[in-house]
Every structure is written in C-alpha cells, then in structure tokens.
Amino acid sequence: MKKDIFDILLEISEIMNSVFNTDELIPQILDITEKFLKVKRVSLMLTEGDYLKIISATNLPVNYNDIKVPLGEGISGQVAKTGKPVIVNNENVCEDELGYQAKSYLSFPLKVREKIIGVLNLTDKEDDFFGDKDVKIAGYIASQCALAINRFTLYEEKKKAEHLQVIGKFTSSIAHDIKNLLQIVQSYIELMEIEMKGDSEIKFYIDSICTEVKLIHGLTLDILDFANRQIALQKSKVNLKEFLEEIKKHVDILLKLTPVTFELKFSENIEFMCDRDKLFRVFFNLINNSLEAVGENGRILFEAYLQDGNLIFIIEDNGKGIKKENLNRIFDPFFTTGKLKGTGLGLAVVKEIVEAHNGDIAVESEENRYTRFIVRLPVG
Ligand SMILES: Nc1ncnc2c1ncn2[C@@H]1O[C@H](COP(=O)(O)OP(=O)(O)OP(=O)(O)O)[C@@H](O)[C@H]1O
Ligand SMILES: [Mg+2]
C-alpha cells in the first residue's frame, strides 16, 4: 500500500527529532532522502564564505573532501545564490553538482529564515522523474535539515563559548600566580646585583635574566589585563629621559647577542603623567615585535618628541613589514602570523593601554621595507 504524503512527512519529522547531534543528523538526512525519494545519489553541501562545500554524500564516484563549488556556479551554486530550487526531469543528459551526467536532478536550498546555509542535491530518481509529491517531500526534508543544522550549530557555539570562558578563567588564575612568583624572582635578582659588586660578565648574565623575567612578567600582565577587559591605570609623574633610558638599557641587553642595532632619539625632556609599568610594556612589546621582524641588517629606531601638546613616540624597523590586507587586523586579539608561540595579544593590549591614556596608535608599513608604529599620548 502506498503511503500517504502526511504519513511520510510525519515519519521524517519523527526521525529528525530523534537525533541529538550533527554527527548523527547528517547520515540520517542522507538515509531519509534515499529511502523516501528513491534516488541513486544524495549530497549535502554547506556554505563556507563564497563557496559550497560537500560535507556528506552517498554514492559519489569521487572523493569529495576537498571539493568546493563557488556560489553562483553550476546548478547547486545557483541554488545557493538565488535560494530557488532547481528541478531537472527526464532529460537525456543533465549535469549534477559536480558535473556528472544524470537524467533527473533536484537541488534544494537549505534556508534558515532568509539565510541560505547550504544545498541538498538528489541525483537520478529511480524512474527518472520527480513528481509533485517528491518535490514536496524533498522541500520538507531540506527545511527540516536546515532547522536541525542551525539548532545544533547554535548549541555547539554556546558550548564552545562556555568552554572558552572556563579556559579564560583558568589561564588568568595561572597568569596571576606566575606574576606574583616572578615578582619574588625579580627581588632576588636585584639582591644578587647588590651583593655582586664588580664582576661585569656575571653582571651581564644577571641583567639578561632580569630583562627576560621582566618580559615574562609583562606577558602575564598582558593576559590579566586582557582577561579583565579593563585597564586600571596607576599614574605617576614620569621623567621622559629616565623612562626612555631605562627602556634602552633593557633593549640593549636584549640585543647584545644579536646583530640588530637600536637607536634612541629624543631632544626634549619633560615630566608627564602615565602608568609607567604599563607604558613600559607598550614600548617593550612594540620593540620586541620589531626585533622579531628584522633580519641580519636589522635596525630599530625609537624616537620621542613633543608636538602640539602631545608626546609622539615612533618605533620603526627595517624588517619584513606587514601585508596590506593584515594592516587593519594586527590590533585584533589573537591575530598573529609566522610565530610558533605568538599569542597575538601583544598589540591588542598595547592599543588598550594607549587608549586608556587617551592616546592613539597608528601603523604604517610596506612589505619587506619597513614598519612604523606611531603612538600619540596627550601630555596634559
Ligand atoms: N614590527 C613589525 N613588523 C612586522 N610585523 C609586525 C610587526 N609588529 C607586529 N607585526 C604583525 O602583527 C602581528 C600581531 O602582533 P602581536 O604583538 O599582537 O602578536 P605576536 O607578536 O604575533 O604574538 P606575541 O606578542 O604574543 O608574541 C604579528 O604576528 C605580526 O604579523
Ligand atoms: Mg608581539
């Protein structure tokens, strides 16, 4: 006895509702489609940027893992672009989503509200003809499929966000403990320096340890500031000359065993209000990035001058530069290129600290030529 369409739709929705995750859902969709529509091949494609990617298929004669179809191209690409289904019936030859020959073909958009998230393709109906009832069933499967995928995606995104929140809390508590322990290490190093009068070689090693510890300390503070999402400034009066010379002292130690040259340029001296430790981290982060970007004949210039009531700091290097398309992404948290252990937090924190001082930061760069960061801080 032939089943009534309502029985079929009911059966389909019961099967779809009994699924609890995407891993189970996708094979179910292919199964249901094959079973109720009696087709030779089924494929499910989801949109990824400007492409459709096959995420699962039955009886495709090729490995589909790396296949991408541009939106607008071929039948499925058109369906994904226009949101309108395509039905090809009883033709001598037509082409399916991968250009294979077929006699009948049905391609349905997967829509959530008006957004197209993918396409369901059916190739070669048993009797070469999709009737009205088949089209209705296929449309129903596609709509149920879109809703289920959307439901699971939202659920998985929520789970991921919760997971990231836990990791964030965990990381900041570790960063907090490391920061406190490093403060103790720093105090011991300072004591060693006082005790150790004269021996310049050992003094160099101690200074190097001190600089590295300061870097790690800065990194833990970056993580904490980032996790807190707010920068609390502790401002004090700072002498520009002393501040710049302290930075130079640490940078010189950092560069001692490298061929890179560092030049500090400033002509005026003033006193200004700022969070000295945080501003130190700003320039140390920027100089460190320059150091990582330059090669054999590396040169880093650090310049400070007064202009219209602002302190302008320039950090310039002759390193590999920044690709044009990355220039507006480098301040994004977690954006990092070409480094194994880069967190991509350095510049995000730099920007937050500068802006907390009511200043701003800009970048100019040309690939394989130079990179220049310009930090502006109001003096008042
Ligand atoms: N002076 C520079 N020259 C070339 N590229 C740079 C320079 N400064 C920053 N960048 C680019 O900006 C990206 C982001 O820098 P950021 O300091 O935020 O992270 P990172 O240096 O990659 O990682 P981390 O600071 O955690 O070590 C870098 O990965 C690099 O691609
Ligand atoms: Mg960095």
Joined together, the tokens standing for residue 182 give: 């490093």
Residue nearest to atom 19 of ligand 1 (CA): 344
Residue 264: which of 283, 281, 277, 279 has the closest Cα? 283
Residues 317-344: pLDDT tens digits? 999 999 999 999 999 888 899 876 677 8
Residue nearest to atom 11 of ligand 1 (CA): 330
CA of 366 to the centre of ligand 1 (A): 15
pLDDT attached to residue 7: 82
* Whether pLDDT at 223 is above 80: no
Q: Is 68 helix (H, G, I), strand (E, B) or coil?
A: strand
Test site for ligand 1: of 347, 350, 351, 367, most ligand atoms within 8 A of the Cβ: 347
- Report, as an integer, the average pLDDT of 58-72: 83
60 DSSP assignment: -
* Whether pLDDT at 39 is above 60: yes
Length of the chain counted residue by residue: 380
pLDDT range class, residue 2, cuts 50, 70, 90: low
Q: What angle do CA 344, 350, 354 make, to 5 degrees?
A: 155
Q: What are phi and psi of 117, to 5 degrees?
A: -105, -10
Residue 277: which of 314, 315, 310, 246 has the closest Cα? 246
> Which of 151-160, 206-215, 232-241, 341-350 is predicted most confidently?
232-241
Residue 196, burial from CB neighbour count under 10 angstroms (0-12, 13-18, 19+): exposed
Instruction: Please identify which residue in the block is written with the tokens 């990035």.
Output: 289
- Name all residues whose Cβ lies below 6 A of ligand 1: 285, 289-290, 293, 317, 319-322, 330, 335-337, 339, 342-348, 371
* Whether pLDDT at 30 is above 80: yes
pLDDT attached to residue 316: 98
> Which structural domains are found in the chain, ordered by start?
5-159 (3.30.450.40), 232-378 (3.30.565.10)
- On average, the pLDDT of the chain sits at 86
Q: To which H or E segment does residue 354 belong?
A: helix 346-356
69 with 77: CB under 8 angstroms? yes
124 with 102: CB under 8 angstroms? yes
Q: To which H or E segment does residue 87 belong?
A: strand 86-88
39/99 Cα distance (integer angstroms): 17
- CB under 8 Å to 101, separation ≥6 — which residues? 93, 94, 95
CA of 346 to the centre of ligand 2 (A): 4
Residues 344-357: pLDDT tens digits? 888 988 998 999 99
Test site for ligand 1: of 225, 281, 284, 289, most ligand atoms within 8 A of the Cβ: 289
Q: What angle do CA 163, 167, 172 make, to 5 degrees?
A: 150
Test site for ligand 1: of 302, 336, 365, 375, most ligand atoms within 8 A of the Cβ: 336
316/311 Cα distance (integer angstroms): 16
CA of 319 to the centre of ligand 1 (A): 12
Q: What protein residues have CB closer than 5 angstroms to ion ligand 2?
A: 289, 346
CA of 18 to the centre of ligand 2 (A): 49
Q: To which H or E segment does residue 204 belong?
A: helix 200-228
pLDDT range class, residue 218, cuts 50, 70, 90: confident
Residue nearest to atom 13 of ligand 1 (CA): 336
344/222 Cα distance (integer angstroms): 11
Give me the percent of the chain exceeding a pLDDT of 90.
Answer: 35
The mean-pLDDT minimum among 13-27, 138-152, 275-289 falls in 13-27
Would you give the end-to-end CA distance of the chain in angstroms? Answer: 88
308 torsion bin: left (phi>0), alpha (psi -120 to 50), beta (else): left
CA of 371 to the centre of ligand 2 (A): 14
- Report, as an integer, the average pLDDT of 222-227: 75
Pairing of strands 86-88, 105-112: antiparallel
Test site for ligand 1: of 330, 372, 374, most ligand atoms within 8 A of the Cβ: 330
* Count of other CB atoms within 10 angstroms of residue 91: 13
* Whether pLDDT at 85 is above 70: yes
325 DSSP assignment: G
Distances (CA, A) of 121 to 58, 99, 236, 264: 11, 12, 67, 65
Q: Is 166 helix (H, G, I), strand (E, B) or coil?
A: helix
Residue nearest to atom 8 of ligand 1 (CA): 289
Residue nearest to atom 31 of ligand 1 (CA): 337
Q: Is the dihedral of CA 281, 282, 287, 289 positive or negative?
A: positive
Q: Residue 219 CA: which ligand 1 atom is closest?
A: 26
Listing DSSP states for 10-49 in one string gives HHHHHHHHT--SHHHHHHHHHHHHHHHH-EEEEEEEEEET
